[in-house]
Amino acid sequence: MKRTIISIIVLAFAINSQAQRIKGSDTMLPLSQKEAESFMKQNSSNRVTVTGGGSGVGIAALIEGTTDLAQSSRKIKMDEKIKLQEAGVTYKEVIAAYDALAVVVNPSNSISQLTREQLEGIFTGKIKNWKEVGGEDMKIIVYSRETSSGTYEFFKEHVLNKKNFASDVLSMPATGAIIQSVSQTKGAIGYVGLAYLNKAVKTLKVSYDKGKTYIEPSMETAKNKTYPVVRPLYYYYSTKVETKVKQYLEFVLSTEGQKIIEQVGYVPLK
């Protein structure tokens, strides 16, 4: 009898508990980790695991059925939509927050601002020395995210006008690696999400009107939409797991969830 009661209790716990997997964008990693932590405190029967790897990795896992939520810092691509269709996956998209993409240099760099055109020149390899943009005579060392990163895709499309990165750009596997590399390399430049900024790097003001106005990346300029490099951050999921992920997504979109988003350094929806 005792064994039967224990079995019923275990079964009841298994039914009520939910194990959710979130995978993808490194940009969204701090956001999802903090949201998951707060969500589990309020919902002790729910377990949420969060891993990075890049937006492309998250969407690939969604196609394969090895994640419940794919976190992505870019919109899903056409070839990914086709693969999902071929895999028989009907998906839904949720915008969780917004993020400002900051251009960073080593703190010793005298440069404080660049135009979009100058950034395009630097990252495509046309501009190779800081003296070409008003800085000291020093080689520019360019750091970028790898091609599976949504941040890489967004930067290429919205800053480089879809032009290719230079062949000698150093690809980093995660945002934290860019922060570390730029902080340790005098002539370095890279780009990171607002939430990753710290005193180890220096942010640049950016101009999208050919040098008339330069705007600094910050929570305030991202919220009032004066900073030009702001993007939505997405969750993608299969409709088959909608019931499973619904409670977590509702928490993220709630007033409390959106407060957490701002606390971690992202831009809330309202």
Q: Six-digit token pair at 1?
A: 């009898």
Whole-angstrom distance, CA of residue 102 vs CA of residue 39:
29
Convert the pLDDT of each residue in 224-254 to its tens digit. 999 999 999 999 999 999 999 999 999 999 9
Convert the pLDDT of each residue in 220-232 to its tens digit. 999 999 999 999 9
pLDDT reported for residue 270 = 86
The predicted model gives 260-267 an average pLDDT of: 95
Q: Any bridge partners for residue 64, and if so which?
A: none
Convert the pLDDT of each residue in 104-158 to its tens digit. 999 999 999 999 999 999 999 999 999 999 999 999 999 999 998 999 999 999 9
At residue 89, what are phi and psi to the nearest 5 degrees?
-100, 115
The predicted model gives 92-114 an average pLDDT of: 97
pLDDT reported for residue 266 = 95
Quote the pTM value: 0.86
What lies within 8 Å, CB to CB, of 242 at 6+ separation is 92
The predicted model gives 87-105 an average pLDDT of: 97
Q: Closest Cα partner for 182 from 101, 265, 107, 99?
A: 107
Whole-angstrom distance, CA of residue 200 vs CA of residue 13:
46
CA 211 to chain centre: 27
Half-sphere exposure of 127 toward its Cβ, with a 13 Å CA cutoff?
A: 21
pLDDT reported for residue 18 = 74
